Structure 1
Amino acid sequence: MSPTQRKTLPLRFALYALLILLSALFIFPFLFMLASSLKDNDAIFTDVESLRAVLPVGDLMLSNYVAVFARGNIGHYLFNSILITVLTVLLGLFVNSLAAYALARLEWSGKQAVIVVLVVMLAVPLEAISVPMMLLVTKLPGLDFSEGIALTSSWLDTMHVQIIPFIANAFSVFLFYQFFRDIPKDFDEAAYIDGASPFQVYRHVIVPSSVPVFATVAILQGLAMWNQYLWPVITVPGEDARPLMIGMQQFFAARRIEWGEVMAYASVITVPILLAFIFFQRWFVRSVVGSGVKG
């Protein structure tokens, strides 16, 4: 070990110790949730004063999960949330990446004005436009598939009212735009010389070079859709199209709170999105690191 490395060793040790401490603080609630979902109320409150609160020890049971699926309509709500999230993310990846490709790689009149509008839209939260959006969707004719295909008087209480308004996303377009503009345009010019169309350049040049940002957008947009609460509350009064987040409120309404069941329901909500993040993690990290290197 060189003298310089020996001098920096205490600093590195302190840095790693701090990172381990922060990691423990962030993972503690998750471990507590999983461990508590396997215990009854008495065991949860007994163990909360010790390290046993985050460990799967004691009389463990799966009855909390059985109760969650048996007493509520969680299977249907889970299916709705997965369908809404997957469709929104897949359609959003295509629509938002195409919009960003047009902004980053093509030349057309009014492009700078659209970029300015896009940046302004980043500062507009859903809460500010949710009521006007709701008034709009109440006037739009929808489709009812319960008995064949029939027109309905509005989009309220449907699946597509939770999908279509969120396919185009300003933040996703901005992420794609930032990534696409850093790809050398020599690739585009070489493809155009070979006779490729703009869409073929997007399909065969831009998309294969942008897997990290696609994974990043998929994670962020999927997380936002999975945790959607305000919009379903005001647009989905019935149970057929209700997502998982709203189902939790309905499940525990007018019932004696069993904290083991609460933690089991929370685990069902958390684990799918956590697994998706773990699956896309390496591309997510590559996107963040790549953005930092490009400045």
Structure 2
Amino acid sequence: MAAINPDNQGLRLFVRYLVLCLVAIIFIFPLVFMIMSSFKPPAQLLSDTASLRAFLPVGDLSLNNYEAAFRRAPILLFVFNSVLVTGLTVLLSLLICSLAAFSFVFLNWKGRDVVLSIIIATLIIPFETIAIPLLLLVSKMPWIGLEGIEWGWLNSYRVQIIPWIADGLTVFLFVQYFKGLPGELIEASRVEGASWFQIYRTVVMPLSGPVLATAAILKFLVMYNQYLWPLIVVQQESYRPVMVGLGYFFQLNIAWGEVMAYLTLITVPVLIFYLFLQRAFIASIASTGVKG
């Protein structure tokens, strides 16, 4: 067997890291441009776009755009609404979709494959085709609240959460991951007298860290970037999410510095969520294993 040349190995490693750094820079450029532009006055912002100065903290930098953005729209309220709706939807979706996937993979019941095929087939249906029927449905549905029975879900948090809890992609991700788990663990748990829910809670889910992180990130991005559905079902400002709130900055005179400041502020929760789950994802991969 030929010996591995350390010089060639080091060169390949250098080229690999160089390519990765270039790709990372390409993806970071829009964020850098957004953040730098949020500190610049409108005239300088537009003039700097013709050069690399757009990515540099140069010129007349200030917090005026942020102050103006807070005066124009209730940004903290919009961020709170989006974080609340997105967080609850992600948690409920992981619970419901993982339970559904568990039943599809480990339980035998009549029509299981047909139901799973129908759920996966919903992935090809665009939301625009069901938006109006879904709107008519939620506008007439009852809700039992603290004040009794209410008719209609419009202008509420529930109308932004409940229709999006279960989806075909999340169920499919869990199904595919559960199929790769060792069947011996399930059989051994059943022999020891564990119930199906105990197996789900103590055996399957502790081994599902990677798929939980992946499904949570994908669901978070979809929900946090929701625009069309909240625009249809929410008219009250107190329930509006961040993407609908972006329209406040395109009314009358458009101040691009304020737009960049608003985008910077609403991007912070996304970065925090992603970095947190990325760390959890890596830790789950390192800690997941089956001992003999």
Relative to the length of structure 2, the TM-score reads 0.89
Q: How does 1:246-261 map to 2 (within 5 A)?
A: 246-249=244-247, 251-261=248-258
Match of 2:234 in 1: 236
State the one-letter code of the partner of 1:48.
T
Match of 2:179 in 1: 181
Asked if 1:276 corresponds to 2:269, the answer is no
State the one-letter code of the partner of 1:162.
Q
Asked if 1:40 corresponds to 2:41, the answer is yes
3-state SS of the aligned residue for 1:183?
A: coil
CA offsets 1:176-212 (integer angstroms, 9 cap, x no match) = 1110111011111221222211000000001100011
Hey, what's the Cα distance between the residues in 1 that align with 2:100 and 2:135?
25
Asked if 1:163 corresponds to 2:161, the answer is yes
Q: How does 1:92-107 map to 2 (within 5 A)?
A: 92-107=93-108
Hey, what's the Cα distance between the residues in 1 that align with 2:131 and 2:284?
31
1:42 deviation in Å? 2.2
1:3 deviation in Å? 5.9
1:6 deviation in Å? 4.7
State the one-letter code of the partner of 2:22.
L
- Within the candidate set 196, 214, 217, 2:215 is matched to 217
Hey, what's the Cα distance between the residues in 1 that align with 2:27 and 2:185?
42
- Alpha-carbon contact 1:138-1:153 (below 8 Å) kept: yes
Hey, what's the Cα distance between the residues in 2 that align with 1:3 and 1:197?
53
1:255 deviation in Å? 3.1
1:43 deviation in Å? 2.2
3-state SS of the aligned residue for 2:140?
A: coil
Hey, what's the Cα distance between the residues in 1 that align with 2:148 and 2:157?
15
State the one-letter code of the partner of 2:264.
S
CA offsets 1:24-58 (integer angstroms, 9 cap, x no match) = 22211111001111111122123223322112233
Q: Quick one: structure 1 residues 288 and 188, their matched pair in 2 at CA, closer, same or farther if it must change by over 3 Å? A: closer
Hey, what's the Cα distance between the residues in 2 that align with 1:287 and 1:111?
30
State the one-letter code of the partner of 1:202.
Y
Structure 1 stretch displaced more, 92-101 or 67-76: 67-76
Q: How does 1:11-26 map to 2 (within 5 A)?
A: 14-26=15-27
3-state SS of the aligned residue for 1:38?
A: coil
Q: How does 1:4-153 map to 2 (within 5 A)?
A: 6=7, 14-142=15-143, 149-153=147-151
1:288 deviation in Å? 9.9
1:230 deviation in Å? 0.9
State the one-letter code of the partner of 2:60.
D
State the one-letter code of the partner of 1:120.
A
1:228 deviation in Å? 0.4
State the one-letter code of the partner of 1:111.
R
Hey, what's the Cα distance between the residues in 2 that align with 1:88 and 1:231?
14
1:285 deviation in Å? 6.2
- Within the candidate set 171, 189, 192, 1:191 is matched to 189
Structure 1 stretch displaced more, 236-245 or 57-66: 57-66
Hey, what's the Cα distance between the residues in 2 that align with 1:280 and 1:78?
19
- Alignment length (residue pairs): 284
1:167 deviation in Å? 0.5
Percent of aligned pairs sharing the same letter: 45
3-state SS of the aligned residue for 2:239?
A: coil
State the one-letter code of the partner of 2:208.
S
3-state SS of the aligned residue for 1:204?
A: helix
Q: Quick one: structure 1 residues 171 and 191, their matched pair in 2 at CA, closer, same or farther if it must change by over 3 Å? A: same
3-state SS of the aligned residue for 1:177?
A: helix
State the one-letter code of the partner of 1:240.
S
CA offsets 1:86-105 (integer angstroms, 9 cap, x no match) = 11011111001000111111
CA offsets 1:136-180 (integer angstroms, 9 cap, x no match) = 111112367xxx624333111211000000001110010011101
Q: Quick one: structure 1 residues 128 and 215, their matched pair in 2 at CA, closer, same or farther if it must change by over 3 Å? A: same
1:4 deviation in Å? 5.1
RMSD (Å), alpha carbons: 2.3
Hey, what's the Cα distance between the residues in 1 that align with 2:237 and 2:117?
40
CA offsets 1:121-147 (integer angstroms, 9 cap, x no match) = 121121221111111111112367xxx
- Alpha-carbon contact 1:216-1:283 (below 8 Å) kept: no
State the one-letter code of the partner of 2:233.
T
1:7 deviation in Å? 5.3
Hey, what's the Cα distance between the residues in 1 that align with 2:116 and 2:155?
34
3-state SS of the aligned residue for 1:87?
A: helix
